A and B are shown apart, each in its own frame.
Chain A
Amino acid sequence: MEAVVSENFGEPISAGAAPRTGDSGELVLRFDSGFDLGRIERLLQETRERGGRAPESVCTLNLIAVYFNEQQYEKARAALEMAGTIHPSRLIVMIGDAPVEQESLTVRASVVRSGGAITLERLVLSATGRAVRHLESAMTNLLRPDLPRVVVFGGRPHGDLMKRAVEMADRIVIDSGARPPGYLAETASLLAKGAPIGDLAWARIFPWQALAADTLDLPNLREHRGNIRKARVACAGAVGAEGLLLLGWLQSRIKRLEIQIQAEGEPEPEDTGTATPRAAPMGLGQVKLLELTAPPATFTLRRDKGILYADVKGDDDGYCANRVRLPADTPGRLLALELNLLYGVDELYAQAAQAAARLLPQVPR
């Protein structure tokens, strides 16, 4: 099963159903050797002033995205735009395609206007061949001062470029769900060193966490809070990072918890578009069931299409205690959720990821 998940390895945070509001088009500059930062700034200014005097530009953070080819960025583009508009940003995209022999340097500038202001200033810096070496220093100079720096990437760090980008970041957002679960060990070791990592896979299990906690808050179920002995997670088609993080979270919250994780059934087929963004179909490796055993009660949280159900069974026949509609967890929305936290470590995630990494030997192969 891991081989199937592995196909996703290195994929960037992919595009979601993000609206593209008021994109005023791109202006492009090409350089022969090295970037001219003054010209890039003027290019951005020109983009801002397209169609008249530039409106106010608001920025709450520097969002830095690193990709290794144009296709990766195109997949992520809508998600970055959505998140970057919800959290007004200067978005600097670095595309470093080193394997291409010919050296080239290109800059594309564009803005997104919303509510009478510019809410996203976007600079896409592309380099091929040896010119890739210029990307990082150019990016550093183009950052807006005094604003938090968040680095987004989907694949593994590639060489020095990524290393330095990560070192200067206030926060790094990854998507463990797009990697084989084994890479949670790498993440856990970085977290143990205090790396301020955020994870879309973690944001994807928020509804499961909320429903589990809410169910134990129901007045007639509170008696079971102190009695949870076992947790079982089933993932669609293959064990994925979300399932491990969910179990890791439970293990870090509940002492002496017996755990079990398994793959079950298949992922859901792709959905057709609707007026309002929906919960994405359950993907490969995503959580489809969480069962908590607190004798004599059993709590079963299960996902059926876009709905999460919380079933409770005790001495009786059992009943559905709650059911909630899953939010539209497009990558853009998930990234926006992660950008709510701009500095420091999400302790709960760090504990969960480290516990999840310890569960890896139990992952069925």
Chain B
Amino acid sequence: MPYTSEHDEIPNPLRAGLRAESIPEPCAVVIFGATGDLAHRKLVPALYNLAVTGHLPAAFGIVGMAKSELAQHDFVRGMRESVGKFSRTKPIDGEIWADFANGMRYVSGSFDDPNAFARLRAALEELDKSRGTRGNRLFYFATPPSAFPTLLKQLKGAGLINPPNDSRFTRVVIEKPFGHDLASGRALNRLVLETCDERQVFRIDHYLGKETVQNLLVFRFANSIFEPIWNRRFVDHVQITACEDLGVEGRARYYEEAGILRDMIQNHVLQLLCLTSMEPPVAFDADAVREEKTKVLRAVEAFETPEQVARNVVLGQYTAGSIGGKDVPGYHEEKDVAPGSRTPTFVGLRLSVRSWRWDGVPFYLRSGKRMPKRATEIAVHFQPLPHSLFGEGATQPNELVIRVQPEEGIALRFSAKVPGERYRPRTVSMDFRYGSTFGAVAPEAYERLLLDAMRGDQTLFTRRDEVEAAWKIADSILKVAESPESPPPNPYRAGTWGPPEADQLLAQDGRAWRRL
């Protein structure tokens, strides 16, 4: 029964109104970099949990590929250990694991060796026969970006990339960073799209797999009370924070190249900005949602001069300090950090979204390593009262805080009367906690994203033009920040909320960062 696209027009009579979740087609997931951290800590545990929750097709297989010489059973044993350690469901279910492990294969070889890809092809064909994976492939690039061009070339050379309309799907999942700057981001996109169609490319940003990030869409577009006030008439400013208490944790080689702007701002933080400020999409599908996000990125005013960057951006780098009662080293003392490194580990910046909805509303973004605690949140600060009936300064403007992690939830801060005879207002918080309001355990971000990729749903993956628009914003800062003439990042003690200059950035607007 060959595939012809004319039949796509015949509607599926059984699809309308179904409450049942669809299960992906049979497929094999190929993980390049299968011996790495990402595969062990996130990808395979996520796939195992999808098997536990009944979301995987029974006709499923995994092929790991990496340079390390490993026997098949050693690869499977290593994965079992990792799943035992990192899976959110414990203990490992012997029966489910046995079936899951039966579909695991390992191919060792260098990515630039065509013979290794011939072996990969043979392993996939064997899975098609033994597990019924039916020629459907999801290639996951869990490798450094430098390997992407070779992988794409080899996959094409081995005839492993089917055309987008083929009845057997081929999809490629690419981990960030999607390039190093705008030029390399564009070059990577060109390269990827020489081999695949955009419909086959899944650029993963694991923040979008988080339940609370997805909840932002529901919160904004499934409630009628917030949308009328979600604009410049009612919102004074927005603060987006993505901080962690960890340092570079043995990833200094990567971090020296990336820094906070590439590691956090270009992707995660700008994605949060998009979801906070986008217009309602015309439909909840991949094209419509990504179109609106891209419009936001296009509306963000990129910096054109070093003066603009100096006025709106504060970079920092941590020095030795104390976090949680323990001494921690400064960035320069971390292993593999170059002497005199100017890599920023903190950024605070002010962005403007030039649109009818947001013009004049500053968006303050901050992200850093070695902060006092891990916290990611979006805080919408509403306009102050035009006139206070209860005395100057007696009330604080309303705030709506969307906590992404930890203690995922939403809090609305408003004034209430302190009990007693006088009218004394006090700011109180109405708190919704995601974890305790819903008893169901939320899936890990990678579970959701892998499942979507297997189903072919690109809504939570970034599109080519979206990535490039985000690079344009990051690039306008990077060009200045990385020029030899620019000053080094401002030092801040580990365990503090960044350099004092970051506070001044808001203070000059008469505002302050939220205390977390």
Residues of A within 8 A of B (CB): 56, 58, 60, 85-88, 114-117, 119, 206-207, 209-214, 216-223, 225-226, 228, 250, 253-254, 274-276, 297, 307, 312, 314, 316, 320-328, 336-337, 340-341, 346-348
Contact = CB atoms under 8 A, between A and B. Distances in A.
Nearest to B56: A325
Given A58-B437, A88-B439, A223 B1 contact: yes
B436 A217 contact: no
A325 B58 contact: yes
Contact of A214 (B19, B22, B91): B22
Contacts of B11: 225
6 contacts: A88-B438, A88-B439, A214-B23, A216-B14, A223-B4, A347-B17
A116 B436 contact: yes
Contacts of B93: 274-276
Contact of A213 (B14, B91, B165, B440): B14
A253 B440 contact: no
Interface in B1-25: 1-4, 7-8, 10-23, 25
A135 B57 CA distance: 47
Nearest to A309: B58
A292 to B, nearest CB: 9
B12 A213 contact: yes
B13 A220 contact: no
Contacts of A223: 1, 4, 7, 10
Most-contacted residue by chain A among B4, B15, B436 (CB, 10 A):
B436
A314 B436 CA distance: 51
Contacts of B21: 206, 210
B445 to A, nearest CB: 19
B59 interface: yes
Contacts of A85: 439
A207 B20 contact: yes
B132 interface: yes
Most-contacted residue by chain B among A307, A324, A327 (CB, 10 A):
A324
Contacts of A213: 12, 14-15, 18, 20, 22
A211 B57 CA distance: 10
Given A86-B438, A117-B433, A325-B51, A320 B59 contact: yes
A10 B59 CA distance: 39
A346 B8 CA distance: 28
Contacts of B134: 321
The size class of the interface chain B forms with chain A is: 35 or more
A117 B433 CA distance: 10
B340 interface: no
B312 interface: no
Given A119-B436, A212-B14, A346 B19 contact: yes
B17 A348 contact: yes
Tell me if B's interface is mostly helix, strand, loop or mixed: loop
B6 to A, nearest CB: 8
A86 to B, nearest CB: 4
B167 interface: yes
B439 to A, nearest CB: 4
Given A209-B20, A325-B56, 8 more contacts: A206-B19, A216-B15, A218-B25, A220-B2, A250-B14, A323-B57, A327-B54, A348-B19
Contacts of B16: 253, 348
List 6 A-B pairs, minimum CB-CB distance, nearest first: A117-B436, A206-B20, A327-B54, A210-B20, A213-B14, A222-B7
Given A114-B439, A220-B1, A323-B26, A276 B89 contact: yes
Given A210-B20, A220-B167, A328 B54 contact: yes
A254 B57 contact: no
A217 B23 contact: no
B18 A209 contact: yes
A214 B26 CA distance: 11
Contacts of B91: 275
Contact of A225 (B13, B19, B95, B96): B13
A321 B58 CA distance: 11
Interface in B391-443: 433, 435-440
Tell me if A's interface is mostly helix, strand, loop or mixed: mixed
B53 interface: yes
A60 B91 CA distance: 30
A206 B12 CA distance: 16
B132 A320 contact: yes
Contacts of A218: 25, 167
Nearest to A89: B439
Nearest to A212: B14
B23 A322 contact: yes
B23 A210 contact: yes
B94 interface: yes
B52 interface: yes
A274 B51 CA distance: 15
A267 B359 CA distance: 66
Given A219-B3, A225-B7, A225-B12, A276 B436 contact: no
A336 B23 CA distance: 19
B12 A56 contact: no
A210 B16 CA distance: 11
Contact of B14 (A60, A86, A209, A219): A209
Most-contacted residue by chain A among B13, B17, B89, B94 (CB, 10 A):
B13
A88 B13 CA distance: 36
Interface string B32-53: 0000000000000000000111
A169 to B, nearest CB: 20
A340 B54 CA distance: 18
Nearest to A21: B439
Contact of B18 (A210, A226, A250, A327): A210
B52 A276 contact: yes
Nearest to A225: B10
Given A276-B89, A276-B96, A320-B132, A58 B436 contact: yes
Contact of B15 (A58, A217, A347): A217
B1 A297 contact: yes
A114 to B, nearest CB: 6
A56 B434 CA distance: 13
Contacts of A219: 3, 8, 165-167
Interface string B85-103: 0000101111110000000
B92 to A, nearest CB: 8
A307 B17 CA distance: 24
Nearest to A214: B22
B26 A322 contact: yes
A176 B16 CA distance: 23
Contact of A322 (B2, B10, B59): B59
Contacts of A221: 1
A115 B435 contact: yes
Contacts of B436: 56, 58, 88, 114-117, 119
B512 to A, nearest CB: 29
Given A213-B22, A214-B23, A223-B7, A60 B437 contact: yes
A58 B434 CA distance: 11
B439 A119 contact: yes
B261 to A, nearest CB: 36
A337 B19 CA distance: 9
Contacts of B26: 321-323
